Amino acid sequence: MKDAIATLSQQLDQALVAAFGPELSGTNPLLAATNNPKFGDYQANIALPLAKKIGKAPRDIAQGILDNLDVSAICEAPTIAGPGFINFTLKTEYLNQQLQGMQQSDRLGIAPVDQPQRVIVDFSSPNIAKEMHVGHLRSTIIGDGIARILEFLGHDVLRLNHVGDWGTQFGMLITHLREECPEALTQADAVDIGDLVAFYQRAKKRFDEDDDFKERSREGVVKLQGGDEESRKAWALLCEQSRKEFQKIYDRLDVELTERGESFYNPMLSDTVAEVNESGLLVEDQGAQCVFLDGFTNKAGDPLPLIVQKSDGGYNYATTDLAAIRYRVRDDKAERILYVTDSGQANHFTQVFQVARKVSLAPDTVELTHVPFGLVQGADGKKLKTRSGDTPKLRDLLDEAVARSRADLEKRLSEEERQESPEFINEVSTKVGIGAVKYADLSQNRTSNYAFSYDKMLALQGNTAPYLLYAFARIQSISRKGGVDFSQLDGAAIALKEAPEFTLAKHILRLDEVLEAISEELLPNRLCEYLYELSKKFNQFYDKCPVLQAEEGDRLSRLMLCDLTARTLKLGLSLLGIDVLDRM
Ligand code: ARG
């Protein structure tokens, strides 16, 4: 109800000025939604902190405000409670009218922002020749959710996959490839990523154990960076093989990304370092080119450097991120850049951002934000492992979620003696399985570690994807049972009557507040909480208020509430990358 909040804030400001003078204009009215209907819908706490300033009792200040306040267009007469809280209860007509507006809009009344921003979301970003692991899965799911929400709000979002496709490991990989499977260089599809990961491990083992190989690998890096054609070809082949495997995961998750790996910035690294040098901040330390950082010291208390060029002349992960910021600001014209990675990279980003600011690669008007998340753990709170003790492959993890969701569905179908087509069973188990994995991740506050549990994520009760998908399907079944076409309800009037209707309606109307908060705080779990509460409130309403059996006027009004709930669920879930099902 951003609209109500805006009206109340504006009117409070005017009243404050009228009652106590123009110098109070712009004072924060401390307006917040109440958690308890006893105190109305919103409460303004402004009178309390003003008591000292004005030299009057808070209740008198509150009274002074009320004497000058006109919110009758949207509220019942405001009341004063306790030490001087002002309580507002929205008028029923106002609520009816807002709901109606939502009902008639295909964006559920949520207008795109007035000032769209150019936002880059840097997420997923696995490393070539290494397996995409659960950390990348988290980044992919959370990054996609954030991107979807910002896109819906009207921002211009560039989704970038900053894949690790450059660096010294390629010397080792290419050398190994050339020596172990030369046929890969002449023949398409000679290695696949399953092999490629094992391939990486073998190369690494040789690298660690065999000094000659190590030396050849070093030369390999130099050759690759020098643009040697065969090395380039080997590199491109390794990238292509990885890319194909990564894409399979993105397709299953329905995630879109533009790949722009580390290699893209390679030609810009020396210019970036030159620019750091021009700023006068570049310092040589033990042969490496560095920038000393504020707030980072070693045990002895001496400032720590960020290395931007190693003593052998090579560049590193940080140099690439500096070049990326430079390019994203200057060429992509980004105004906000979000990096979705595990919290383990927090220092890296703080340091890179600090240097980017000092060196003016990013002006203060450009927001640089690390969006960290915690570890994925097994149900036992330890590192996530397969039964055989290995790190699970993402493909297997998604397969298992779908297989378990299929088993749950088949069990239910047989209990209910329902016959369904194989297509139905496939669709439902895939959408529920994948949706459950996504939702389980998104519904956690991303900053905490999260315990991966198939049982929990697939449970029909609680804050899970299946619970929300059920609520949606349940509403669709009302329309089927009653022979009601929700899309034809336009023009009917919503008239709230019973308490559960009010509770549900007021919750529905708060979607805009929730999305706005998420666009600032980047916490998709808030949307999950909102949708979970919505489903619960819907179920309470549906238990207490007859819909299809109600009298004509009530029936239409309640059907519209049902439809609004369903559409809110559908929109909300779609912003989390989850598809709804009409039947399940
Ligand atoms: N490839 C990195 C990793 O797997 C993540 C890259 C994140 N993005 C960035 N601009 N550094 O840890």
Atom in ligand 1 nearest the alpha carbon of residue 341: 7
Buried b (16+ CB within 10 A) or exposed e, 91-125: eeebbbebbbebbeeeebbbeeeeeebbbbbbbbb
Q: Cα(134) to centroid of ligand 1, in Å?
A: 14
Mean of pLDDT over the chain? 93
Whether 339 lines ligand 1, by a CB cut-off of 6 Å, is: yes
The CA distance from 144 to 345, in Å, is 19
Q: Cα(263) to centroid of ligand 1, in Å?
A: 13
Q: What is the pLDDT of residues 306-354, one digit of tens each?
A: 999 999 888 999 999 999 999 999 999 999 999 999 999 999 999 999 9
Answer whether residue 492 shows pLDDT above 80: no
Whether 320 lines ligand 1, by a CB cut-off of 6 Å, is: no
**Pseudo-torsion of CA 287, 290, 292, 295, nearest 10°?**
-110
Q: Quote the pLDDT of residue 191.
A: 63
Q: What is the pLDDT of residues 387-411, one digit of tens each?
A: 787 888 899 999 999 999 999 999 9
Contact, 534 vs 565, CB < 8 A?
Answer: yes
The CA distance from 66 to 70, in Å, is 8
The DSSP code for 483 is: T
The DSSP code for 582 is: S
Atom in ligand 1 nearest the alpha carbon of residue 348: 11
Q: Cα(136) to centroid of ligand 1, in Å?
A: 9
Listed in sequence order, the DSSP H helices in 90-160 are 92-103, 134-152
Q: Give the C-alpha distances (Å, rounded to integers) separating 480 from 62, 347, 469, 542, 552.
A: 51, 54, 17, 16, 18
The CA distance from 471 to 543, in Å, is 13
Token digits for 139? Answer: 């980044």
Answer whether residue 193 shows pLDDT above 60: no
Q: Quote the pLDDT of residue 131.
A: 81
Residue whose Cα lies nearest atom 11 of ligand 1: it is: 321
Q: Quote the pLDDT of residue 385.
A: 83
Mean pLDDT of 89-108: 94
Residue whose Cα lies nearest atom 4 of ligand 1: it is: 126
CA-closest candidate to residue 188, choices 148, 146, 226, 244: 244
Q: Quote the pLDDT of residue 350.
A: 97
Mutate to test the pocket of ligand 1, among 125, 321, 369, 391 (most ligand atoms within 8 A of CB): 125
Question: For the chain, what percent of residues have pLDDT higher than 70?
Answer: 98
Atom in ligand 1 nearest the alpha carbon of residue 342: 12
Q: Cα(163) to centroid of ligand 1, in Å?
A: 7
Residue with tokens 């795109």: 112
For 534, residues 6+ apart whose C-beta sits below 8 A from its C-beta are 471, 504, 507, 508, 565, 568, 569, 572
CA-closest candidate to residue 249, choices 355, 144, 403, 368: 144
Q: Give the C-alpha distances (Å, rounded to integers) separating 375 from 173, 381, 441, 450, 459.
A: 28, 10, 11, 6, 22
Answer whether residue 7 shows pLDDT above 90: yes
Answer whether residue 497 shows pLDDT above 90: yes
Listed in sequence order, the DSSP H helices in 392-524 are 394-415, 422-442, 454-458, 465-482, 499-508, 511-521
Q: Which amino acid is at 72?
A: S
Find which of 49-63, 239-253, 488-502, 514-528 is predicted with most confidence, using mean pLDDT: 514-528
Buried b (16+ CB within 10 A) or exposed e, 37-69: eebbbbbbbbbbebbeebebebbebbbbbbeeb
Min mean pLDDT across 131-135, 137-141, 262-266, 413-417 is at 131-135
Q: Quote the pLDDT of residue 183.
A: 80
Contact, 68 vs 15, CB < 8 A?
Answer: yes
Q: Quote the pLDDT of residue 72.
A: 94
Mean pLDDT of 546-564: 93
Whether 479 lines ligand 1, by a CB cut-off of 6 Å, is: no
Q: Quote the pLDDT of residue 491.
A: 67
Q: Quote the pLDDT of residue 185.
A: 76
